Amino acid sequence: MKRTGSQAIWEALVGEGVETVFGYPGGAIMPAYDALPGYPIRHVLVRHEQGAAHMADGYARASGKVGVAIATSGPGATNLVTGIATAMMDSSPMVCITGQVSSLVLGTDAFQETDITGVTLPITKHNYLVTRAEDIYPTLREAFHLARSGRPGPVHVDITKDAQQAAFEFHPGDGPPPRSGRKVRPSPPVDLDRAAALIDCAERPLVLSGHGIVRSGATELLVEFAEKTGTPVASTLLGLGGFPASHPLSMGMMGMHGEAWVNKAIQEADLLIALGMRFDDRVTGKLSTYAVNARKIHVEIDPSEINKNVKVDVALMGDAAWALRELLGRVRSRPRAAWHARIAEMKGDTAVRDIQSLPPSGRLFAAHVLHDLWRLTAGRALVVTDVGQHQMWEAQYYKHERPRSLITSGGLGTMGFALPAAIGARFARPDDEIWVVAGDGGFQMTACELSTCAQENLKVNVAIINNGYLGMVRQWQEFFYSRRYVATPLLSPDFVKLAEAHGLLGLRVSKREEIEGAVAQARKATCTTVVDFRVEQEDSVYPMVPANSDLRDMIRRPSPMLETGADP
Amino acid sequence: MKVAHTYVATVEDRPGALNRVVSLFRRRGFNIASLTVGTTECPGVSRITLVVNSDADTAGRVKANLEKLVDVLQVQDLTGVAALTREYALVKASVPPEKRPELLRLCSVFRARVVDVSPATLTVEITGTPDKVDALLEVVRPYGIAEMVRTGPLAMGRGAEVNEIKVQAGMAA
């Protein structure tokens, strides 16, 4: 049967089970858009292509399926770049399709021409420039396959306008199967036996649970493993939700803004079992003093991560679910009560320093907002955070019970991620309660997507943790740059009016006792609701391990008496 | 300790495949000592010989990162194994006629061949291990090297063991 290249694009997407795409039309992708109405795919018109990429990413993270973003050539394609890099750093499966100028003028600096495959080469798992209509369908099939296989990631397909327009004889069944990319050979039994022996011998083992637990759906196996071996579980930022926060063996987040006892436990452990995490610098602090007393087992699906930052004793290649299944059959059951007692002791004074337990002083702290939001949503919301202080407070105070209940930009730390990612997540999880938690800075980077919420009639709730500063940068200025607040005080629009200008609901909260009512009102509203939480302006995230420092060298929250000293 | 690690990567002949390899080295900060590309017995497949000066851990990551590239079919580590390593060089020496016999004698020790002669210069070619090429250059240097180019090493394992190219069933390039 005869098809155009444009039709082949949609045929391929329908064949991959794609129901929603996020995009923005323009000259070089117009033939593809023209063919869209014939296919059962919902197109979400974004306000900026960066939003399209984050939406595809958010969709992917919320569903586990491949997200799709579409843009035109030149500026449309370059606007995707931040979103692609974000997905690459957090291993999010995504296919980005861009239009390209006609192959007849490629390389001539034609109108809206950019060498976009040159640009995206180092921030994609793979990319393609397609110049022939008959190559479109097999290329897209391969792109989807690569995006979700092995360590997932973004794949970019750039398609010239003439390839979209050309007609050809289309036989979807024909052609070779897609290339698979590198298949990781699972580690042999001897390595699994060595890992099990290390686990059996350890007195103070600790699991470092990462994104790989979420990606491989290994939560139940991890619970079983932790219980059988009496091993406490600390999580990376992207690992949160991979192990239920209410579980007695759950320790919470590790690293730069991890709780003090978690980092202390890492430094005291005699065995680290790293599952689907990559020893990022925000997790390890100074490498030369990181867990020097511990043996290390690294379960990793990407061989290039082994011994990259931290040298390990046993590397197990494969996904976390596979490794846990194999290890469960090999390890002995041990209670390890002494280790648990030691951790409980280290927990010690943290509770009294905790801002959420302070007596009411009339001041609204971000920690109050996040803690109350967790309580009021019974910890069951899907939370999508932006990047900065609020992101860390969310990680500390919103206790995630289920995998894929927190979506955040970890590796790249992309401000402006939250709102569009939440819109993407909405299409993946139509029935879940979704809360965006963003700062006043990051929210404004992609606030235009409120208009997308209005046009698509979407319901997400937005909590803006508004402290009038680019808060995390201000905090670093306070700690490390002698309180010189250069370029961090931030004037924002009236977020309530901004919401109303979009035909959405806007609310404001400046006292703790107003939180409950506003959250209830937001949850009840059928439209996207923006809640402007006016929080303490110069609060900081504690504890903090300064960059490249020993995990034990934490800056702790000043004692509660000092903190509330101004309030009689 | 940094030593020279030699890898042979077979790569599908697709647009940008070499670019991906080079971009990987630039991005990860791996230091390429030499990179040569050529055709193979298998149409559509190129062979890249790479020499990297690095410690053992970095070398391991070089291999793992190369293997992640979709266009890379396989990577063979020829470091410390029985392998043939050969390099070709052209050396143009500025040498007056009266000194030529002396230089020619030295070149013959290296089995270097004269390929061009002009009133003021003598050009020789040499094939051999990188060490041998180095040694020849040392010998020629006192006479004055006007111009020199070397290809960088090509490598192949010795013996019956074959680095068989397994082409992925994939869409046409």
Q: Is A376 helix (H, G, I), strand (E, B) or coil?
A: helix
Mean pLDDT score, B56-80: 92
Q: Among B23, B61, B171, select the one facing A122 at the smallest CB separation.
A: B23
Give catalytic status of residue A259 as yes or no. Answer: no
Give catalytic status of residue A100 as yes or no. Answer: no
Judging contacts by C-beta atoms under 8 Å, the chain A residues touching residue B67 are 182, 303-304
Q: Same CATH fold, A353-563 and A2-169?
A: yes
In CATH terms, the superfamily for domain A353-563 is Thiamin diphosphate (ThDP)-binding fold, Pyr/PP domains (3.40.50.970)
> What mean pLDDT value characterizes chain B?
91
Q: Which of A55, A445, A472, A544 is catalytic?
A: A472
* Burial state string for A471-480 with b = 16 or more CB within 10 A and e = fewer than 16: bbbbbbbbee
Inter-chain residue contact B171 with A182, CB threshold 8 Å = no
CA angle A282-A286-A290, nearest 5°?
A: 95
pLDDT tens digits for range A156-185: 999 999 999 999 999 887 777 778 776 778
Nearest to B77 by CA among B20, B157, B23: B157
ipTM summary value: 0.89
The domain ranges of chain A are 2-169, 189-347, 353-563
Q: Is A6 left (phi over 0), alpha (psi -120 to 50) or beta?
A: alpha
Q: Among A129, A176, A311, select the one facing B169 at the smallest CB separation.
A: A176
Pairing of strands A67-71, A94-100: parallel
Q: Is A405 helix (H, G, I), strand (E, B) or coil?
A: coil
CATH of A2-169, one of 3.40.50.970, 3.30.460.10, 3.90.650.10, 3.30.365.10: 3.40.50.970
Contacts with B132 (C-beta within 8 Å, 6 or more apart), sequence order: B110, B126
Q: Which residues pair with B156 in a beta bridge?
A: B84
pLDDT for the residue numbered A565: 41
Nearest to A382 by CA among A366, A367, A368, A394: A394
Give catalytic status of residue A161 as yes or no. Answer: yes
Residue with tokens 């063991």: B161
- Residue A319 carries which side chain, given as an amino acid letter? D
pLDDT tens digits for range A436-471: 999 999 999 999 999 999 999 999 999 999 999 999
pLDDT for the residue numbered B168: 60
Domains of chain B by range and CATH?
3-81 (3.30.70.260), 84-154 (3.30.70.1150)
Inter-chain residue contact B19 with A121, CB threshold 8 Å = yes
Inter-chain residue contact B169 with A177, CB threshold 8 Å = yes
Q: What is the rounded CA–CA span in Å between residue A439 and residue A417?
A: 11
CB of A465 within 8 A of CB of A366?
yes
Q: Which two tokens stand for residue A237?
A: 């930022």
Most A CBs within 10 Å, among B13, B70, B71, to test the A interface:
B70
Judging contacts by C-beta atoms under 8 Å, the chain A residues touching residue B168 are 179-180
Q: Where are the beta strands (DSSP E) in A301-433?
A: 314-317, 382-385, 406-408
Q: What is the rounded CA–CA span in Å between residue A567 and residue A360?
A: 10
* Residue B138 burial (CB count, 10 A): 9
Phi and psi, residue A511, nearest 5°: -125, 150
Q: How many CA atoms, within 13 angstroms, populate the side-chain half-sphere of residue A346? A: 19
Contacts with A535 (C-beta within 8 Å, 6 or more apart), sequence order: A364, A365, A366, A368, A369, A465, A466, A467
CA distance A64 to chain B (A): 22
In order along its 568 residues, chain A shows pLDDT tens digits of: 899 999 999 999 999 999 999 999 999 999 999 999 999 999 999 999 999 999 999 999 999 999 999 999 999 999 999 999 999 999 999 999 999 999 999 999 999 999 999 999 999 999 999 999 999 999 999 999 999 999 999 999 999 999 999 999 998 877 777 787 767 788 999 999 999 999 999 999 999 999 999 999 999 999 999 999 999 999 999 999 999 999 999 999 999 999 889 999 999 999 999 999 999 999 999 999 999 999 999 999 999 999 999 999 999 999 999 999 999 999 999 999 999 999 999 887 676 567 777 777 788 999 999 999 999 999 999 999 999 999 999 999 999 999 999 999 999 999 999 999 999 999 999 999 999 999 999 999 999 999 999 999 999 999 999 999 999 999 999 999 999 999 999 999 999 999 999 999 999 999 999 999 999 999 999 999 999 999 999 999 999 999 999 999 999 887 654 444 444 3
Residue A48: Cβ-neighbour burial (10 angstroms; 0-12, 13-18, 19+): buried
Q: Which of A30, A112, A347, A516 is catalytic?
A: A112
CATH of A189-347, one of 3.10.129.10, 3.40.50.2300, 3.30.870.10, 3.40.50.1220: 3.40.50.1220
Q: Would the CA dihedral through A325, A326, A327, A331 be positive or negative?
A: positive
Q: How many CA atoms, within 13 angstroms, populate the side-chain half-sphere of residue B168? A: 23
CB of A255 within 8 A of CB of A240?
no
Q: Is A86 helix (H, G, I), strand (E, B) or coil?
A: helix
Q: What is the rounded CA–CA span in Å between residue A53 and residue A116?
A: 15
Which chain B residues touch A if contact means CB-CB below 8 Å? Answer: 15-16, 19-20, 23-24, 27, 57, 60-61, 64-65, 67-68, 70, 168-172
Q: Among B19, B27, B67, select the one facing A182 at the smallest CB separation.
A: B67
Give catalytic status of residue A203 as yes or no. Answer: no
Q: Among A175, A179, A308, select the one facing B61 at the smallest CB separation.
A: A308
Q: Which of A125, A161, A264, A399 is catalytic?
A: A161
Judging contacts by C-beta atoms under 8 Å, the chain A residues touching residue B64 are 302-304, 306
